Structure 1
Amino acid sequence: MSLGIIIPLKAKKVSRSWEITSNLLHNTLLSLQNQSSQNYHAVVVGHDRPHLSALRHDLINFIHTEFEIPPLKKGGSYSKYSDFDRIIDKYRKIAEGYCFLESKNIQYFMVLDADDLIHKDLSKYILADCNPHGYILKAGYEYFSKAKRVIPRKKLDKICGSTTIIHANHMPKIDTVNDESLKLIPWCFLSHSQMEEYFFKKKSPLKTVPFKSLMYVLQHDDNSSDEFRSTLKAKFREQLKIFILGHHISDQVKLDFALDSTYNDKKIGI
């Protein structure tokens, strides 16, 4: 049994910088390589395959999506995420990744954004604790990559999409990825902020992971949320928040999330 991790990757055409997108994915995969339990299987789903050197082919796969990038709105640009249906693009990739992992011996499923990092003991804890419904990742960090500072958070599930792990018993059987099957996959019909309440009402409560298990990476110039911080006022408020609430990353946190120089000198291939 293992933890199945689905990583939807934006297309080169959509990315503001393919180099940044590739480097962020590289760091995300390093946090998988860093897991103290290697009982996981990850799949990256995208239109374009990043050029990363070969390593751990048995645990990390890349599959090309069968769907075209959704069309632009009239006069729009792919560099602006609100100008095309990026949500449908992401949902389709999640569904394709899920269908791929269904053939593996997966006990829990997780959707991880291609720029976020997980704690080295996450897979070990999940598979040892074995909650029958799944988990919610509340505690963790906002990591501001330009400032090299982190802010500890207790409610990451309200601001980050990589915060839900669901037991296979609560996942659907899907033969074909289409508009109807998307309605069956929790990440495709619920926002991350609704997950906990949804499963609670189903009498299948998700258990809170009792340690800082996720690092939400920001300030790398390729966040979709950057569009909401485009004004000078928004940027000033962000800098003020980082200065007041943030602090430098400890050596232990770097080790926990594979941010130390030893791991960053390695490369992962898919």
Structure 2
Amino acid sequence: MLVFVIPLKSPQVSRSWERVCQLFERTVRSACNQTSPNFHVIVVCHEKPNIEFTHPKITYLEVDFPLPKETNPVARGDTDKGRKILKGLIYAAQFSPSHTMAVDADDCVSQHLAEFVEQYPQNNGWYVSRGYKYQENTSYVYLTRKNFYRMCGTSNILRYDLNFLPENPEYNRGYGYYKYYILHARVRDVLTEKGMPLAPLPFAGAIYILGYGDNVYGNAKNFSFNFFNRRKLTKSIREEFCLSSIV
């Protein structure tokens, strides 16, 4: 089974909680749109989002961690995200997952992930080499042919034991304690150094959403868009990733 872990920011630190909820609803619809029933979604949040979508495969795990503004001002968002991912991964054990995937609360994932993962339950895991970038409310996506995992946090599928979960997890630590769960671009290298390399996912695995105010890490101004990588946002892409338009 594949378990998705989605860390969601608090309404107290969101520029627009309504917008965060809209984007999250699209993300969780995408995660639940799998072609295989062998998946679960764990959402770790300070407060449950205000959305209409429900699904029996979703678990909301509410936490009372200190708000990011009350922690280290240098890495406050990262620390909150790391705490939530760790909490979700620990909780995932009750579903006996073969693999887990951290998903940013604004991105979309391919509907084929769970079906693919269940075919290889002993595999170390995969990194998303190919994926799409999407700027909100446009009619195109941009194909990233390699190294997608370096730019997007929705990019690593790990065999559960390779999360290296602490025996006695703590949630009052600083950035360094959680960095393995945050630094998505480093996970591949870390596991290669340990002799447990990840394989490239053999298809485009996610869509990285750009260009809205509450995205801490992604801003369309920080990315180049190569015309030759531009693809029409077709019905098949929308359906595979459950990518709906948000006004």
Normalising by structure 1, we get a TM-score of 0.80
Which of 47, 59, 62 is 2:60 aligned to? 62
- Structure 1 segment 40-119 matched on structure 2, within 5 A: 40-53=39-52, 55-57=54-56, 59-72=57-70, 85-119=76-110
1:258 counterpart = 2:242: yes
C-alpha displacement at 1:161, in angstroms?
Answer: 1.0
Q: Pick closer, same or farther for the CA change 1:40–1:174 going to 2, 3 Å.
A: farther
CA distance in 2, matches of 1:213, 1:54: 23
C-alpha displacement at 1:68, in angstroms?
Answer: 1.7
Counterpart of 1:135? 126
Output the amino acid matched with 2:225.
K
DSSP 3-state at the match of 2:186: helix
Counterpart of 2:169? 176
Output the amino acid matched with 2:62.
H
Counterpart of 1:225? 217
C-alpha displacement at 1:84, in angstroms?
Answer: 6.5
- Structure 1 segment 138-153 matched on structure 2, within 5 A: 138-153=129-144
DSSP 3-state at the match of 2:197: coil
CA distance in 1, matches of 2:203, 2:53: 32
Runs of at least 4 residues of structure 1 off by over 6 A?
none
CA distance in 2, matches of 1:201, 1:13: 39
Normalising by structure 2, we get a TM-score of 0.87
**Could you give the per-residue CA deviations for residues 155-201 of structure 1, whole angstroms, max 9, x where no partner exists?**
2111011111111232335443333997378314xx11111111111
Whether the aligned pair in 2 keeps the contact of 1:109 and 1:168 (CA below 8 Å) is yes
- Structure 1 segment 226-245 matched on structure 2, within 5 A: 235=221, 241=225, 245=229
C-alpha displacement at 1:221, in angstroms?
Answer: 2.4
**Could you give the per-residue CA deviations for residues 8-28 of structure 1, whole angstroms, max 9, x where no partner exists?**
001111111111110111111
1:248 counterpart = 2:239: no
DSSP 3-state at the match of 1:34: coil
Moved more, 128-137 or 25-34: 128-137
Identical positions, percent: 25
C-alpha displacement at 1:92, in angstroms?
Answer: 0.8
Which of 178, 187, 196 is 2:181 aligned to? 187
Whether the aligned pair in 2 keeps the contact of 1:95 and 1:185 (CA below 8 Å) is no
Output the amino acid matched with 1:23.
Q
CA distance in 1, matches of 2:170, 2:3: 18
C-alpha displacement at 1:70, in angstroms?
Answer: 3.1
C-alpha displacement at 1:247, in angstroms?
Answer: 3.6
Counterpart of 2:11? 12
Aligned pairs, number: 243
C-alpha displacement at 1:83, in angstroms?
Answer: 7.0
Greater gyration radius: 1
1:206 counterpart = 2:193: no
C-alpha displacement at 1:206, in angstroms?
Answer: 0.4
CA distance in 2, matches of 1:95, 1:73: 17
CA distance in 2, matches of 1:210, 1:176: 34
CA distance in 2, matches of 1:184, 1:221: 25
> What is the alpha-carbon root mean square deviation over aligned residues?
2.8
CA distance in 2, matches of 1:73, 1:36: 40
Output the amino acid matched with 2:233.
I
C-alpha displacement at 1:248, in angstroms?
Answer: 2.6
**Structure 1: unaligned runs, 5 residues or longer:** 75-81, 230-234, 265-270
